[in-house]
Amino acid sequence: MPHAQRPDLTEPSRFTSFMTKRRLPMAEHADTLSLKALRELVTGLVARADRAEIRIEALEADNRKLRQENDRLRIENTRLKVDNQLLRDEIARLKNLPPRPPFTPSGMDQATSAKAVAGSRKPARRRGPKGDTGSATREEVLPARAPPGSRFKGYKECMVRDLVVRAEVVRYRRECWVTPEGRTIIAPLPAGIKGGYPPVCVASA
């Protein structure tokens, strides 16, 4: 009758795999074990410790990834809060826009306007250029001079109406930064822009 073939335990990997599949002796009975059983116990415990270390390293790697993702989400949440506040400020500003730049009327227009004002009891409504805020014909990004270490927090937009042969609405995307001290820096508008109008319209008012 042929004998059962014993596993090849010459290679360390096969030996470790073979030992981890076997039931290890109880550690509290170590004083009653033979030398062979003690070796099997130690080898099995080392193999289990190696596997536990591998699992711990994998869990630590997953934990690092989760922490990085959490930091990214916190930064994104802060950016969205700043953008939301900037939008609220812009909406509040748009609700109280200055009137359109006045123009010099002719003599007939002056007489008509005088009669209309004399016969009217209600004050004239202040109307601002609200109808074209979503149709910019040109867009410019204005850089802000932020100190080193500042974090970019998006843009604060400002609509400026200009007349260059044709009507043009320029959207200025003003960079917004938050300094390490928590101070918000917004890129300034080009010189001369006032109340949503360029220097030419302001000067002719």
| Burial classification of residue 7, based on how many CB atoms lie within 10 Å of its CB (0-12 exposed, 13-18 middle, 19 or more buried) | exposed
Residues 153 and 176: beta-carbon distance below 8 Å: yes
Looking at the DSSP bridge assignments, the partners of residue 139 are 171
Residue 200 has pLDDT above 80, yes or no: no
pTM over 0.85: no
Kindly state the average pLDDT of the residues 35-63. 85
104 membership: H or E segment, kind and range: none
CA distance linking residue 200 with residue 96, whole number of Å: 22
Per-residue model confidence as pLDDT tens digits over 84-138: 888 888 887 777 755 455 445 555 555 555 555 555 555 555 555 555 556 777 8
For residue 106, the SS3 value is coil
